[in-house]
Amino acid sequence: MSRQSKAFINLIFVTLIWGSTFPIQKIAIQGMSSFAFLAIRYWLAAILSILIWKKQSFKYGFIIGIFTCIGQTTQTYGLQFTDASKSGFITSLYIIFVPLFSYLIEKEKLKKKQIIGLPIAIIGSYMLSGGIKGFNFGDFLTIISGISFAIQMVLMTKYSKKVSETSLLTWQFVAVAILNTIFSIGKNWNVSIFAMSASIYMVLIATIWTTLAQLKYQKVVSTNTTALIFIGEPVFSAVFSFIILKERFSFMQWIGALIMISVLIMISVNWVKYKKTRSFSN
């Protein structure tokens, strides 16, 4: 398997993991502060990452961590006021902002398939969410989350080209842990058994592994292509919300999910063809 194919598959799997976290977090934070939950999650991730990888970049890791913190905090807190599937859609709007920040920070321009795929993906994601009817405070917080994740994504690609991927983990996690610990002062730290179980999954799979996969593979396929791969997140979020939380799909939501899956297929087919052509020409 080529490095490009491996990167594509791993980034698809990252979206699946992220999609599963929406309903899991919604259940886990019941009865406790969302800030406390994030503090526990990221302190554990920071400790484990420094035990495994000693050499860490403070400057680049902490900068990424600030935007990770804003994104995670607003997303998790916003889940208390909105549906998990709706949160997954609004978070996916970061794909609108990624090309903007990617151009400003990395001077990366959109390619034809990205120009076609982006608006179609947004339409599909909108239909999947059932629309934005009943816009609330949780939705507003989730929009901030999407913008923060867009900046974080571009910075991860940029900095992973400068230093080792594993050196960008610990201080990123520490930044998120510190800020959420501050936010959680005076809040409810009543940790349930489910919350602790969820934390283990969040730490090992949804935090350390997914972050490392992003740092390692985003630069292989480019930030803008990664953003299109990540449109699978709200689809997986809706599926897991349906399975775990029994959130039901309407006909429009099913159509939206099919549209987004079609975009993913289109991107993967075009991308594979492009890679084959380039390899042949070489």
User: Quick one: pLDDT at residue 17?
Assistant: 93
Range of the domain at 176: 3-281
Hey, is 46 helix, strand or coil? Answer: helix
| Mean pLDDT in residue range 183-211 | 86
Radius of gyration from C-alpha coordinates of the chain: 18
Structure tokens at 123: 């339409």
User: Quick one: pLDDT at residue 209?
Assistant: 95
Scanning the structure block, which residue is given the tokens 């120009």? Answer: 115
Percent of the chain beyond pLDDT 90? 26
- Total structural domains in the chain? 1
In the predicted structure, residue 248 carries a pLDDT above the cut 60: yes
User: Quick one: pLDDT at residue 221?
Assistant: 85
Structure tokens at 260: 């987004």
Q: How far lies 174's CA from each of 18, 45, 57, 182, 184, in Å? A: 20, 8, 12, 12, 15
Nearest CA to 41 among 171, 172, 184, 199?
199
Higher pLDDT, 235 or 157: 157
Query: Model confidence at 2, in pLDDT bands (50, 70, 90)?
Result: confident
Query: Model confidence at 164, in pLDDT bands (50, 70, 90)?
Result: very high
Query: Model confidence at 268, in pLDDT bands (50, 70, 90)?
Result: low
CB contact at 8 A, 14 and 213: yes
DSSP 103: H
Separation CA 110–CA 105 (nearest Å): 14
Hey, is 245 helix, strand or coil? Answer: coil
In the predicted structure, residue 70 carries a pLDDT above the cut 50: yes
Scanning the structure block, which residue is given the tokens 């409810």? Answer: 188
Separation CA 176–CA 66 (nearest Å): 7
Give pLDDT tens digits for 117-147.
777 877 877 776 666 566 678 888 888 888 8
* pTM (two decimals): 0.77
User: Quick one: pLDDT at residue 280?
Assistant: 41
Separation CA 122–CA 260 (nearest Å): 8
In the predicted structure, residue 213 carries a pLDDT above the cut 90: yes
Higher pLDDT, 247 or 216: 216
Give pLDDT tens digits for 146-158.
889 889 999 999 9
Separation CA 230–CA 237 (nearest Å): 12
Average pLDDT, the chain: 82
Give pLDDT tens digits for 94-114.
777 888 888 888 888 777 767
User: Quick one: pLDDT at residue 215?
Assistant: 92
Distance of CA 206 to the CA centre of its chain: 9
CB contact at 8 A, 72 and 18: no
Burial of 54 (0-12, 13-18, 19+ CB in 10 A): exposed
